[in-house]
Amino acid sequence: MQKLLKSLGPVCAVIGAQWGDEGKGKVIDLLSEHYGVIARACGGANAGHTIVVGGQKHIFHLLPSGALHPHATVVIGSGLVLHLPTLLEEIRTLQAAGIDVLPRLYISTEAHIVFEFHKQIDIALEKQRQEREGKGIGTTKRGIGPAYMDKAARSGTRMECLKGDLRPILTAHAERVQRLYDVAVDVDAELKSLSSAQQLLSGHIVDTVTLLYEHLIQKKNVLIEGAQASLLDLDHGTYPYVTSSQTTSAGALQGLGLPPRALTSCIGVAKAYCTRVGEGDFATEVRGEQGDRLRERGGEYGSTTGRPRRCGWLSIPDLKRAAMINGFTHWNITKLDVLDEEEEIPVCAGIGADGKPEWKNLPGWRTSTVGVTEFSKLPQEAQEYIRFIEKETGVPATLIGTGPGREQMTIQ
């Protein structure tokens, strides 16, 4: 671990390389012990980051996954859109488990609020896409797109407004939302749903840009938690089947107001295979018995919506592109154990002139890797599988996940 920490340096970002759910939460939790500040940079409660400690599962949607560590300062940055009842529920769940995150929680004045009406617009827009185009995007229905639409249209409401009177703001939203989307806003219900948040969180809404800057001056190290993933990025992902925020390392820095030169490392997180939730292209998807096997072995059901995840094989071109865009310095290849029973593992090594995957079959290992913590103790074929990824992408696979638990990881 000491060697890894040295190579990561003081400011490390953890970024998904595929379509999300790669296991970002687990590596954030593992590293958090060694970082003074853990900062979520973007997205909203569409994220679901799972941590398993001592057999107990915690799912974070808005709080950074490092929140379990009592020493850590926890920052929610400017790039987020926040559904406050969800945030309060997470804070309370942790309190019930004996962890009080509130005294060390700082939320950006610049983050935007997700109101209930944003969720209703999300549902209405998905329904319209279904009716007009035959399919929707398959959003999480958490109001993410509409909240970022309001932000970009300069009609959004930022967290700083929580400290004042929200009634006139909501009344103006009600008129606009009715006119534009034919969605009725219940101003009183919205206000009621926000009253506890106003009481509990108002004192925690600060200028997180200055806070992070001061931490860096004091030589405190910062761990940046990305959400969603590179192929869901609004600019670089599989548009239009993407989320509405920037999910890359550059997006994370922008979301926190950190200058690009502050970043000292970037861990790309990728499953040893691949999954996707929602609609959109997935060239290496496998359906039928093989896909079902990956889903069952990997427990591939959404942490946020419970939807079965589409499953498929690893795509080297996607990993290369994600490494290119994000500047990955390390890989965390996760869920290697899920492939333990495969006889042969197909990998998309390139894309042919016909736009279809060029497959390469790598030998499986048919031995359990569950809980292995040393790379040299992995079966030969598993080591070769990892070496293949390293060689093709030019990024070292420093961390390999061998189970959902905090300790189930090899670090080289």
Footprint of ligand IMO (CB under 6 A): 16, 19-21, 46-49, 137-140, 142, 144-145, 227-229, 232, 243-244, 277-278, 303
* Residue among 388, 395, 368, 392 nearest 379 (CA): 368
Residue nearest to ligand GDP (CB): 401
Q: Where are the alpha helices (DSSP H) in 299-372?
A: 316-326
- Helices 116-133 and 187-201: crossing angle, nearest 10°? 130
Cβ proximity to ligand GDP: between 116 and 292 the closer is 292
Residue nearest to ligand IMO (CB): 278
In angstroms, rounded to a whole number, what is the distance separating the alpha carbons of residues 231 and 322?
A: 8
Smallest gap from residue 307 Cβ to ligand IMO (A): 7
Smallest gap from residue 59 Cβ to Mg ion (A): 8
In angstroms, rounded to a whole number, what is the distance separating the alpha carbons of residues 30 and 65?
A: 9
CA distances from 367 to 22, 364, 376, 404 (A): 22, 9, 14, 18
Place of tokens 């409401």: 157
Are 63 and 101 a contacting pair, CB within 8 Å?
Answer: yes
Please name the amino acid found at residue 303: S
Are 411 and 8 a contacting pair, CB within 8 Å?
Answer: no
303 binds Mg ion (CB under 5 A): yes
A 10 A CB-CB count for 344 gives 9
In angstroms, rounded to a whole number, what is the distance separating the alpha carbons of residues 261 and 246?
A: 18
* Residue among 49, 30, 38 nearest 71 (CA): 38
Q: Is 281 a catalytic residue?
A: no
Instruction: Check residue 300 and report its DSSP letter.
Output: -
What values do phi and psi take at 136, rounded to 5? Answer: -95, -165
Smallest gap from residue 378 Cβ to ligand GDP (A): 12
Candidates 11-19, 30-38, 192-200, 300-308; binding stretch for Mg ion (CB under 5 A):
300-308
Cβ proximity to ligand IMO: between 138 and 363 the closer is 138
**DSSP β-bridge partners for residue 82:** 113
Smallest gap from residue 44 Cβ to Mg ion (A): 13
**335 interacts with, out of ligand GDP, Mg ion, ligand IMO, none, CB within 5 to 8 A per kind:** ligand GDP
Place of tokens 């869920």: 335
Smallest gap from residue 98 Cβ to ligand IMO (A): 25
- The count of residues interacting with Mg ion (CB under 5 A) is 3
Cβ proximity to ligand IMO: between 137 and 253 the closer is 137
Smallest gap from residue 18 Cβ to ligand IMO (A): 9
* Residue among 20, 66, 11 nearest 43 (CA): 20
Cβ proximity to ligand GDP: between 25 and 291 the closer is 25
Of the residues 48, 146, 226, 257, which one makes contact with Mg ion according to CB under 5 A? 48
Smallest gap from residue 10 Cβ to Mg ion (A): 27
Residue 306 is encoded by which pair of tokens?
A: 């419970």
Q: Is 21 a catalytic residue?
A: yes
**26 interacts with, out of ligand GDP, ligand IMO, Mg ion, none, CB within 5 to 8 A per kind:** ligand GDP
Judged on CB neighbours under 10 Å (0-12, 13-18, 19+), 370 is middle
Q: CA dihedral defined by 190, 153, 199, 119, rounded to 10 degrees?
A: 40
Please tell me which residue in 49, 118, 173, 330 is annotated as part of the active site.
Answer: 49
**299 interacts with, out of ligand IMO, ligand GDP, Mg ion, none, CB within 5 to 8 A per kind:** ligand GDP
Which parts of this chain interact with ligand GDP (CB under 6 A)? Answer: 16, 20-26, 48-50, 52, 299, 303, 334-335, 337-338, 401-404
**337 interacts with, out of Mg ion, ligand GDP, ligand IMO, none, CB within 5 to 8 A per kind:** ligand GDP
Cβ proximity to ligand GDP: between 257 and 401 the closer is 401
**338 interacts with, out of ligand GDP, ligand IMO, Mg ion, none, CB within 5 to 8 A per kind:** ligand GDP
**Residues at the contact surface with Mg ion, assessed by CB under 5 A:** 21, 48, 303
Instruction: Show which residues are catalytic.
Output: 21, 49
